[in-house]
Structure 1
Amino acid sequence: MSEKQGPSVWQGFKTFLMRGNVIDLAVAVVIGAAFTNIVNSVVKGVINPLVGAIGTQNLDHYRSCLKGPCDVAEDGTVTGVTILWGSVLGATLTFVITAAVVYFIMVLPMSKYLARQEARHKAREGAQEVIEVTELEVLKEIRDALLAQRSSGHDQR
């Protein structure tokens, strides 16, 4: 009993790399890294000062003490058990801003572009079908005319 060997691991890997999804993913990672710097700047330059109008400009300073004493030493070490909810809030804001930028600057315009391309493609297909139907009708008329000519020519002999 011989089993059919499927494609080798190397061939499968080459096929995976040659698909467009891998290239799209690589581009997304590079663009995402570039947007991270922009978003971090927006958070530090705009969001943090707005929050600073209410409290501290650094969201990392927002924390809650679960088990005291929660003191911060000069070297930055913290005694006690604290929840750094300000850091979580900052990371959440960064994520939301990144997602909004990617959606409104990249995903939404690309979706609209692809929809327009699809509509154009469908319009072209519809026009080709009309042309093909028209050509078919013309060919039928030519056939009928040739048949009529032949039959009238045979009658005259």
Structure 2
Amino acid sequence: MLSGFKNFIARGNVVDLAVGVVMGAAFSSVVNGLVESFINPLIAVMVGEPNFDNIAFTFNGTLFPIGQFITATVKFFLIAIAVYLFVVTPMNKLTEALKSEDENKKVEPPENIALLREIRDQLKTLNNRPPSQRNL
């Protein structure tokens, strides 16, 4: 049982996941800092308040603080936009650049390999013909 656990922990997926969680937590604090120090003041300039927490309505004597939900939703979309702009887009560009470099590095095979492949292909087509049409 202990060796099975050791094999499970030694897999790359577990380590990758742990690194992803740690990096996500670190990135979350960066994005929260961006939202608190830059985005919320912009909202305050446009709306008059840095967030929507004070928006609420009362129905049958019950208070519904929908402003907290609106603030959480705005923060979610701002974080999603930040992740897309600062992580996803650069990673896509990097992956595309690396892929194009790999495609440019494709080298033609040596002449003897190309000749052997041509002979192989001709033998395949010759063997696919009916016996009466095979001329060696």
User: What TM-score do the two structures reach when normalised by structure 2?
Assistant: 0.62
Q: Cα RMSD over matched residues?
A: 2.9
Distance in 2 (alpha carbons) for counterparts of 1:88 and 1:122: 48
1:55 Cα shift? 4.0
Q: Structure 1 counterpart of 2:13, which letter?
A: N
- State the match for 1:106 in structure 2: 87
Superposed, which structure 2 residues align to 1:91-130 within 5 Å? 91-124=72-105, 126-127=106-107, 130=108
Q: Structure 2 counterpart of 1:120, which letter?
A: E
Question: Pick from 53, 56, 68: which aligns with 1:87?
Answer: 68
1:96 Cα shift? 1.8
The answer as to whether partners of 1:60 and 1:87 remain within 8 angstroms in 2 is yes
Distance in 2 (alpha carbons) for counterparts of 1:137 and 1:36: 54
Distance in 2 (alpha carbons) for counterparts of 1:30 and 1:63: 36
User: What TM-score do the two structures reach when normalised by structure 1?
Assistant: 0.55
Q: Does 1:63 align with 2:56?
A: yes
Classify 1:57/1:136 alpha carbon distance in 2 versus 1 (closer, same or farther; 3 Å). closer
Classify 1:91/1:137 alpha carbon distance in 2 versus 1 (closer, same or farther; 3 Å). closer
Distance in 2 (alpha carbons) for counterparts of 1:137 and 1:51: 65
Q: Does 1:49 align with 2:27?
A: no
- State the match for 2:121 in structure 1: none
Which structure 2 residue ranges, 5 or more long, are not aligned?
Answer: 117-136
Count of residues in Structure 1 that have an aligned counterpart in Structure 2: 115
Distance in 1 (alpha carbons) for counterparts of 2:114 and 2:31: 61
1:138 Cα shift? 7.6
1:62 Cα shift? 1.7
Identical-pair percentage: 35
Q: Say which structure, 1 or 2, has more relative contact order (CA 8 Å, 6+ apart).
A: 1
Q: Does 1:36 align with 2:31?
A: no
SS at match of 1:82: strand
Which structure 1 residue ranges, 5 or more long, are not aligned?
Answer: 1-7, 69-80, 140-157
1:137 Cα shift? 5.7
Q: Structure 1 counterpart of 2:112, which letter?
A: E
1:64 Cα shift? 1.9
